Amino acid sequence: MKRGFLALCGAVIVATLAGCASRSLPPPDAAPPASPPQTRPETLPPLTGSLNHPKSRWVPVNWTELPGFGDDALHEAWIALVANCARPNAAFAPLCGEVRQLALADADGQRGWMMQRLQPYRVESLAGQSEGKLTSYFEPIYDATRRPTATNTIAVYQPPAGLAPRRAWYTRQEIDTLPEAQAALRGREIAWMSDPIDVLMLQIQGSGRLRITEPDGSRRVVRLAFAGSNEQPYRSVNQWLLSQGVTRINPWPDATKDWVAQNPQRLPQLLWSNPRYVFFREETMNEVDAAFGPRGAQGVPLTAGRSIAVDRESIPYGTPVWLASTGPVAQLQKLVVAQDTGSAIVGAVRADYFAGTGPDAGRLASRMDQSLRLWALWPRQLAAP
């Protein structure tokens, strides 16, 4: 298994480097020492002064404040850091040459480099609150057909003509009921699915994979990537169910499907409780694509267990982050990278944890709702982001 993992890492790193070669990136720094010195955290005092963002304040701290920093399997996180260097933020870009060269270094070498080159900052709200909430999302996999069938009657759509950012389009209810909305979507169908809750889940997650049966009977797996929304507000279906007196809403979506089976006449009400509607574009996948998740808002592929969605007014895309979360679902103390966002991910100490692809990731994501602390890791040579 270890040889297989290293082979996958090698393929991912080679593919990422190839992708980077086609972009205009800053030249890498000089190569780091072959064996980075093992710096003790207490020998590097924190920089003085907090850094302010529109929705957060970053307070400099010693590395010793980061829970579990000495125990993380950093080689897993390094895949996300290398992917990050395909589209780094301006502060992290000068470090990308060193990051790539350390991709196959041991954990001590990677940890020593982090302590030399990065400064940890505790992320707080502007009011000084350092504890927030962690949820999770995933990339679902569903069966679909290219054309409608007797069972597959619900379309997944490309964006309609005229859809524009920050301009409201029809609500979910209007899309389902107004002839003019339906006319605008005619011919924009990507594929057809059978379960309306699965389609809703696909839209809530913002991406997914479809095992599509083509008209000739052949099957292939494609990725659906986020391509736009109707710019209506997101409303939680779980919260709507709670308002209806439902007490068992997890595991989502199984409990929701059970409720729909018992209340089929109320399915439209449930769906329309969330006016937000998401449109997709179809992407083909090769072997390397399949090893990663979908591209996040930063524009790089997400890494299972190592990518998070954040409020970009609190943490810029491409920022390495130390994450600590304690709860009934998981005990997490690990390095992640801020590479995505979401309409429900708002606030200073708020993150959505990318759990991966498929049913197991979905089960974890559906249950995750627990406390969170975050530390942004910013290049030491910079005074401000």
Instruction: Quickly name the fold that domain 2-29+39-136+293-379 has.
Output: Barwin-like endoglucanases (2.40.40)
Q: What is the mean pLDDT of residues 305-322?
A: 98
Say how many C-beta atoms besides its own lie within 10 A of residue 45's C-beta: 10
Q: For residues 307 and 296, is the Cβ–Cβ distance under 8 A?
A: yes
Task: Look at residues 332, 340, 337, 328 and name the one whose alpha carbon lies nearest to residue 373.
Answer: 332
Tokens of 261: 């089976």
3-state secondary structure of 292: coil
pLDDT of residue 106: 95
Q: Which of 2.40.240.50, 3.10.450.50, 3.20.20.10, 3.40.50.720 is the CATH number of 138-288?
A: 2.40.240.50
361 burial via Cβ count (<10 Å: 0-12, 13-18, 19+): buried
Among positive and negative, which fits the CA dihedral 64, 67, 71, 74?
Answer: negative
Backbone phi, psi, residue 27, to 5°: -60, 140
In the chain, CATH 2.40.240.50 sits at: 138-288
Q: Which tens digits make up the pLDDT trace of 253-288?
A: 888 999 999 999 999 999 999 999 999 999 999 988
User: Over 70: is that where the pLDDT of 9 sits?
Assistant: no
Tokens 């990731």 -> residue: 361
Tokens of 57: 């304040």
DSSP 186: T
Q: What is the pTM of this model?
A: 0.84
Task: Provide CB contacts within 8 A for 82, sequence distance 6+.
Answer: 12, 13, 16, 17, 99, 100, 103
In the chain, CATH 2.40.40.10 sits at: 2-29+39-136+293-379
User: Over 90: is that where the pLDDT of 31 sits?
Assistant: no
Q: Which residues pair with 210 in a beta bridge?
A: 142, 222
User: Over 80: is that where the pLDDT of 39 sits?
Assistant: no
Question: How far apart are alpha carbons 153 and 267 in whole angstroms?
Answer: 15
Q: Which tens digits make up the pLDDT trace of 40-97?
A: 544 556 666 889 999 999 999 999 999 999 999 999 999 999 999 999 999 999 999 9
Question: In the predicted model, what is the mean pLDDT of the chain?
Answer: 88
